[in-house]
Structure formats: C-alpha cells, structure tokens
C-alpha cells in the first residue's frame, strides 16, 4: 500500500515490479511469485534503471532492501525511508494476505516471522525511519516533506 501520492510529496512515484504484483494485477505477474521475480533479478535491474533518474520516489516491495546491491543502488542517488509499522497493524491492513504470495496460508504466522526477520534489515538500510502506526496518510506525507 502506498501511503502518499506523488503530488503530495512533489515527486513522481514509480512502483517496482514486486509492488506491481499487488497493484496492477497484470496477468504475467499473477503467475509469478515474489520469489521468482527476485530470482530473475528483475527487481534489481529495475532499481538499477530507476535509481539513475532524478526527482523520483521509488516505491519498493518489502524484499527489495534484502539485497545489498539494491540498497547500494538506492543510496547511490537518494535516501531510503523506512515506513515502520507494527506487525499487528500490517496484519489488519493485509487481512488474510490474498494477493500476497509470501503470506498465503498462515498469513498471521508468516507476517510475524517475516517482520522479525526483516525489521533489523530495514532499520540498517534506512537513512530515515517514520513510525506510521496511528498516523493518517496525510500526516505521513507531511512528515516526509
């Protein structure tokens, strides 16, 4: 879920392939899992291409910064902002996790495990962290400005 609009942050926001899976519902992506996309290095190639642009916000999927190369590319011309959200809030937002391959089956258990594994990586990669629990999208946008 994108919590700010491009107009609100005065930048052009570009989703990467993983975030396209949940937003576009493109037939090709519906047949490819998030892991497959990472394995094909499509996300890294997309980050490489987009990180060379000026004045853009790149909305990545949650697994993007798990690759050191992606972090290096993203930091080469910009800053990484971690929109930190407690797993309980994330669970309310994603529900049963439909349309999210990594959460299929036991969404709650898988989400809490992913959070425990990934939160330290997100924090290490981030230049800035914004705690989003209890904040409206408008308030988050105001903080990001």
At 17-35, the pLDDT tens digits run: 554 444 433 334 444 555 5
24-26-29-34 Cα dihedral, nearest 10 degrees = 10
Q: What's the mean pLDDT in 108-129? A: 94
Q: What's the mean pLDDT in 65-92? A: 92
* CATH number of the domain where residue 118 is located: 3.40.50.300
Residue 67: pLDDT over 70 = yes
Question: Is residue 30 domain-resident?
Answer: yes
Tell me which residue range forms the domain holding 33. 6-144
Give the number of other Cβ atoms within 10 Å of residue 77's Cβ.
12
Contact 6, 57 (CB under 8 A): yes
Residue 73: pLDDT over 50 = yes
Model pTM above 0.75: no
pLDDT value of position 82: 94
Question: Is residue 1 domain-resident?
Answer: no
**Domain tally, the chain:** 1
Question: Is residue 82 domain-resident?
Answer: yes
**How does pLDDT run across 43-63, given as a tens digit for each residue?**
888 888 888 888 888 888 888
Extract the tokens encoding 93: 């937002």
């Amino acid at each position: 879920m994108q919590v700010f609009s491009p107009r609100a942050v005065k930048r052009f926001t570009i989703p990467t392939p993983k975030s396209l899976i949940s937003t576009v519902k493109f037939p090709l992506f519906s047949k490819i899992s998030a892991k497959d996309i990472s394995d094909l290095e499509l996300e890294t190639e997309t980050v490489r291409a987009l990180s060379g642009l000026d004045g853009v916000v790149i909305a990545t999927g949650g697994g993007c910064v798990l690759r050191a190369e992606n972090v290096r590319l993203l930091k080469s011309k910009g800053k990484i902002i971690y929109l930190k959200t407690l797993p309980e809030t994330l669970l309310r937002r994603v529900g049963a996790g439909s349309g999210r391959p990594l959460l299929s089956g036991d969404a709650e258990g898988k989400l809490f495990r992913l959070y425990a594994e990934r939160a330290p990586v997100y924090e290490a990669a981030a230049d800035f962290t914004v705690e989003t629990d209890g904040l409206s999208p408008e308030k988050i946008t105001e903080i990001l400005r």
